[in-house]
């Protein structure tokens, strides 16, 4: 049976039950007073009659807290809050995003889910926000190997006709831990030691071995970590034994194909969410023993406390 044919993918009551089982494993949590498993379900409650729904619309997943006596649903305090889109369509959108290797456009999503493009665009940003992991990592612990590289994408500001290089493009710094097969993305403003080194110190263990290319901002990193070596791309050298950045460059190849095919007009203030989506998909890929349903469950477990508004500011 297809995953998309499961009850929670097309039935609203089943969809709420599925989300509740993941977000509230110990029972319903009141978002107003924080009490756990002290609420009862309200059945048969309907919204006020309207022209579209003369008899009102049934309110699925509605609970009432025994302590503070306030009503709530599992949407409260999550990326689903104040969304009028059915919960089962949210679950379909999450599954389609996590199961697509190079992403899915909001145009395609609005056609599949039969919602407006504006709603689909906003849904994808909320889901990417749930995928974000802004905490630091500890790559290269126990003497592991970490590859570090940067890439350029899109346009941050208009390039003058006489300008050369990629200074006008948006910049993404990526770390890949060879031992764990996980990646970490950071959107940066400039390629300089002043900006890049603090990121490396925060996310890479002191005992790690670092491999980079010959860029000037990576020079003398061996004084910061156990060892640092690099390949000389200008001399046509891309691999020297175990010394290379092919893993992170392979990551960039998939990332850029997805960005060019789906997110061609990405603004810099949204780039960190697009990067988070690819980072999430890479870190939870099949090679790490994680399937599409598990990825979808991982997103659902991270939806709390990440609500966005339509302003979508940084």
Q: Which residues of the chain have pLDDT under 50?
A: 312-314
| Predicted pLDDT at 57 | 85
| Predicted pLDDT at 313 | 47
Give the chain's mean pLDDT: 90
* 59 domain-assigned: no
* 200 domain-assigned: yes
Q: What domain count does the chain have?
A: 1
Helix axes 268-283, 292-300, angle to 10 degrees: 130
* 41 domain-assigned: no
* 109 domain-assigned: no
Predicted structure pTM score: 0.88
The burial class, CB within 10 Å (0-12 / 13-18 / 19+), for 296 is: buried
| Predicted pLDDT at 162 | 65
| Predicted pLDDT at 240 | 92
| Predicted pLDDT at 309 | 67
The CATH number of the domain holding residue 262 is 3.30.420.10
| Predicted pLDDT at 226 | 94
234: containing domain: 145-266
| Predicted pLDDT at 314 | 44
* 199 domain-assigned: yes
* 196 domain-assigned: yes
* 226 domain-assigned: yes
| Predicted pLDDT at 261 | 66
């Amino acid at each position: 049976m297809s995953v998309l044919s499961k009850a929670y993918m097309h039935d609203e009551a089943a969809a709420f039950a599925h989300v509740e089982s993941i977000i509230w494993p110990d029972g319903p949590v009141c978002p107003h007073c924080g009490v756990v498993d002290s609420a009862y379900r309200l059945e048969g409650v309907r919204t006020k009659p309207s022209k579209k729904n003369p008899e009102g619309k049934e309110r699925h997943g509605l609970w009432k807290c025994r302590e503070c006596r306030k009503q709530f649903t599992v949407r409260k305090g999550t990326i689903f809050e104040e969304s009028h889109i059915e919960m089962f369509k949210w679950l379909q959108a999450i599954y389609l995003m996590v199961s697509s290797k190079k992403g899915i456009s909001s145009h395609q999503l609005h056609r599949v889910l039969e919602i407006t493009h504006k709603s689909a665009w906003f849904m994808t940003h909320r889901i990417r926000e749930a995928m974000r992991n802004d905490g630091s990592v500890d790559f290269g612990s126990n003497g592991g190997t970490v590859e570090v590289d940067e890439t350029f994408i899109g346009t941050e500001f208009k390039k003058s006709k006489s300008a050369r290089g990629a200074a006008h493009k948006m910049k993404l710094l990526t770390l890949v831990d060879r031992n764990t097969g996980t990646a970490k993305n950071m959107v940066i403003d400039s390629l300089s030691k002043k900006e890049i080194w603090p990121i490396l110190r925060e996310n890479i263990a002191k005992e790690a071995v670092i491999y980079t290319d010959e860029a000037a901002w990576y020079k003398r990193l061996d004084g910061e970590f156990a060892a640092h070596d690099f390949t000389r791309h200008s001399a046509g050298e891309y691999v020297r034994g175990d010394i290379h950045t092919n893993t992170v460059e392979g990551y960039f190849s998939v990332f850029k194909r997805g960005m060019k095919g789906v997110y061609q007009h990405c603004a810099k203030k949204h780039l960190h969410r697009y990067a988070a989506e690819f980072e999430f998909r890479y870190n939870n890929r099949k090679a790490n023993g994680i399937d599409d349903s598990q990825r979808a469950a991982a997103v659902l477990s991270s939806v709390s406390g990440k609500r966005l508004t339509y302003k979508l500011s940084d």
